[in-house]
Structures are given as C-alpha cells and as structure tokens.
A and B are shown apart, each in its own frame.
Chain A
Amino acid sequence: MTALLVLFTTAITFTIGHIIVRSFSLVVEANHLKSQFLNIASHQLLTPLTALKWSVNALDNETIASDAGKQKEMLGILQENNNKMINLVNGLLDISRMENGKVRMSPEKFDIVKTVKKLVSLKENELAKKQNKVEFSSEKDSFWVMADPARTKMAVEHLIDNAIQYSRQSESIFLNIKEKDGRVIFEIQDKGIGIPARERKRIFGKFFRARNASDVQRKGLGLGLFLAKFIIEASGGEINFESEEGVGSKFWFSLPAVN
C-alpha cells in the first residue's frame, strides 16, 4: 500500500514537474518568438529608413540635385520607401488591433482600376530587378467597389509584391480586373516558384512563410497574405488562390461592386 502511495505520489510529482517545465519552455519559446519577431520587424524598418537617409544625402549633393532626372529618381525613392514604412507600420498595428478585435474599417466607394494602376507604376524598379513586366487588363476603364481604400490598396500591394518577388527572371505578371454577379474580381497570376502542396493550407496563416519562399527571399514577416485575407473578408469579399510548385500562382479576390 505504501509502495503504491509512493509510486502514485512520484507519478503526480513527475507530471506536475513536467507541466511546469513544459510551461516554462513555452514561455521561453514565446519570448524567443517575440524577440525574433521584433528583430525581423526592426530590420524591415531599417531598410526603408536607410533608403530615405541615403536619398536625402544624394539630394544634398549639388551635382545630383541640379540634374533634373536624378532629382526625380531620388524623390521617387523617397516616396516609395515612405510608403513601404507606412504600410509596414500599419500592417503591424492592424495585427495588434485584430488581436484586440479593434480594427475599424472605413468603407467608401473608390475605383479599384485606378488604385491598381497607380500601384503598378510604383513598382517599376522592383520589376526591373529580374526584368519582369506587368500585363494589365480590365474589362472597363473603371470598376467601383465599396471597401476601405487604404487597406484594399495594402492588400493589392502585398499580392503584387509577392508576384514580383517569386516570379522567375524575365517572366510577365498578369493582372486582370472584371465584374461577375455584382462582384468586382481582381486576379494576379505569376510564373514563379509556386506554393508547395503540403503548405497551401497554411499560406494565409499569420507569420507563415513557405519553405521555398524563404529560399528565394530571406526577408519577410509572413504577414502579407494574412493581412490581405483579413482586409478582403472584412470588406465583405473573398480571397483564394491556385498554385503549382515550380510553375506559378494565381491569387484572386472579389469585392462588392457599386455603380
């Protein structure tokens, strides 16, 4: 009886000990993830901040400042990197607001064709890196939707950035906007690395990055698609994709059309 009691007590003690050790490990792991996240997020901010600093330095150079072409180029870099920082900080704030259930969408009527065209024009330099180009088509010159314009722009930008980053050299990226059953549909298709089959279910997950994505582009928080899905669904839309590893991916979303 005593031996049984000792065995029972030992088992309980071992279980409690195991739970404490496991809990402690989880806390350590959570802290490690937090620290890793802060590290990546800070680094993501440092890059556009350095670009701002260097473009201002370049504009401060009299020869460069007096060359209208160079001046325009440096101002373009300022604008592009200022946008990158705003998007990154807004994205991080949205994640925090989502966790607290406090994201406030501000829907209004806007022309998504105009938004997409403007974004594509800002991606000229990124596209030039691997000689990619965008082939844009739209059934109409304007498609009006009801959604939060700033956040929709962010969602579209994440999709365009992914297509550029993961496209193969010299391949085109196809953008199309059309209307079907009272919904405006935006499609973006790349000929790139694609998403491995076993990772597709997790692709919209927070902080998730596919294995082959990290091989091609080491920078990245794994938040773009998570945010895009949240934004589109919170606007009454749907988002989905199809993909084949090594061939490419096609993402699309729909938003309520308005006249």
Chain B
Amino acid sequence: MAKILFIEDETALQRTLSAVMEQVGHSVTNAYDGEKGLELAQGTAPDLILLDLILPKMDGFSVLEKLKGDEKTKSIPVIVLTNLESVDDVEKVIGLGATTYLVKANYDLDDIVGKINEVLRPGGSTSAR
C-alpha cells in the first residue's frame, strides 16, 4: 500500500481516481490547489505525487519546480496528469524532473493505476507518454 498525493482541482476527477486507487489498496490525499499540494507534499512525505498542471493559486509547473528543488521532496516520483498535450509542455515537465506525463482523457483508470504501480515498483520508472 502506498501513500499518494493527488493535486487536482476537479473534484469529479479526484473522487473517481481515489475510489479506484483505494480499492486496490493505496491511500489517497487530495489537494485542490498548487499551494496546498506543495504544503501537503512537504508535510506528509507521500510515496508518489499525481500532479495536474492548470491549478488555482500556483500552477503545476511551479509546484514541480519547487518539489524538485527541495531536499525533502525531490526524490518523490511525480506523475503529471493533465489534459494539456503540447510538445512544449511535455518537454518542460520532463526537464523539470517529472517521472512521466499522462494525458488524462487518453487513459482509462485501470491504465493509470497500472502506470502508478509501475513507478512505485522498486527501481521503477517510466518515460513520457
């Protein structure tokens, strides 16, 4: 079982993904904006972070930059989960240290759970989609 932090401002997406994640044994904490997400990441040391990019208060790019610039959080794998799909966005988040980049609308929940488990496996990592 892993502790997962999901930084996403859409409640519907939080609740659907959390329902499936909890059913496979992970615990999910939700944050609705970038600032809160960063605070929870620093305070709760999750095993993995799922990060949207368009967020209130602080966007996902800034959250990622701060996570990777902080000794306490820099080793936590971050999966960017967004509907932004431009090459520039993908290159930017991978450059900032994201483990992988998934376009939400293109994936079923089972596939996302599969990707999460892949990253959580010892030595597990994956490249951009």
Contact = CB atoms under 8 A, between A and B. Distances in A.
A and B assemble together: yes
A189 interface: no
A202 interface: no
B10 to A, nearest CB: 6
Contact of A218 (B13, B54, B104): B54
A130 B32 contact: yes
A55 B56 contact: no
Nearest to B12: A51
B110 interface: yes
B105 A50 contact: yes
Interface-centre pick from A43, A126, A215 (highest chain B CB count, 10 A): A43
Interface in B25-59: 32, 54-57, 59
Contacts of A36: none
Chain A contact surface mostly? helix
Interface in B1-34: 9-13, 15-17, 19-20, 23, 32
A58 B12 contact: no
B32 A55 contact: no
Given A51-B16, A218-B56, A129 B11 contact: yes
Interface-centre pick from B10, B15, B19, B105 (highest chain A CB count, 10 A): B19
A258 interface: no
Contact of B23 (A55, A63, A126): A63
B75 interface: no
Interface string B80-100: 000110000000000000000
B109 A218 contact: no
Contacts of A219: 54
Contacts of A51: 10, 12-13, 16
Nearest to B17: A54
Contacts, number: 74
A64 B11 CA distance: 18
Contacts of A126: 11
A146 B59 CA distance: 44
A128 B9 CA distance: 12
B56 A217 contact: yes
Interface in A39-95: 43, 46-51, 53-55, 57-58, 61, 63-64, 70, 73-74, 77, 80-81
Given A46-B105, A50-B105, A218-B59, A55 B16 contact: yes
B127 to A, nearest CB: 22
Given A50-B104, A54-B13, A218 B55 contact: yes
B71 interface: no
Interface in A106-137: 125-126, 128-130
B57 A47 contact: no
Contacts of B84: 43
A43 B59 CA distance: 16
Interface in B88-129: 104-105, 108-110
Given A61-B109, A64-B19, 9 more contacts: A51-B10, A54-B108, A54-B109, A55-B12, A55-B16, A61-B23, A63-B23, A125-B12, A216-B57
Which 3 A-B pairs rank lowest in CB-CB distance, beginning with the nearest? A51-B12, A54-B16, A57-B109
28 contacts: A43-B84, A46-B105, A47-B83, A50-B83, A51-B10, A51-B12, A53-B105, A54-B12, A54-B13, A54-B108, A55-B16, A58-B16, A58-B109, A61-B19, A61-B20, A61-B109, A64-B20, A74-B16, A74-B19, A77-B16, A80-B12, A125-B11, A125-B12, A129-B9, A129-B11, A129-B32, A218-B55, A218-B59
